[in-house]
Amino acid sequence: MTCTEFLSKLTDYFDDHLEADLIADVKAHVKKCSHCEVVMDTTRKTISIYRENELYEFPDALRDRLHAAIMKKCSKAS
C-alpha cells in the first residue's frame, strides 16, 4: 500500500467501513511509514477533540428564548 492509497482509505478506516484485508493493509502501512502513522494519529485526535469539546454554549436563557420564539412562530402559522 502506498501513502496515497493509505490516505484514500483513511476515512473508511476510521468509520469502520473497511474490509478485513484492507484494515490489515492500512495497519501494515503505518507500521513502516512514520509520516502516515502521525497523520493517522493526529487525524484521529482531530475528530475526537471536536467531538469532545462543545464549541458553542447553549445556556438555559438562550434555550428558553429560542424555544419560546419557535413555538410562537409555529402557533401563528397553524
Partner 1 sequence: MPAIQSPETKEIHPDVALVARAKQGDTAAFEQLVRQYERQIFRVAQHITQNREDAEDIAQEAFLKAYGKLDQFQGNSKFSTWLVRIAVNESLMRLRKRKTSRTVSMDEDVQTEDGAIPRDFAEWRPNPEQLYGKNELGEILRKTIQGLPPGFRTVFTLRDVENLSTEETAEALGLSVPAVKSRLLRARLQLRERLSRYFHQTSGGSKS
> Contact residues for partner 1 (CB under 8 A)?
7-8, 10-12, 15, 17, 34-35, 38-39, 41-43, 45-47, 49-51, 53, 55-56, 58, 62-63, 65-67, 69-71, 73-75, 77-78
How far apart are CB 70 and partner 1 at their closest, in Å?
Answer: 5
Contacts of 29 by beta carbon, 8 Å cutoff, 6+ apart:
1, 3, 5, 6, 36
How far apart are CB 14 and partner 1 at their closest, in Å?
Answer: 8
Contacts of 47 by beta carbon, 8 Å cutoff, 6+ apart:
14
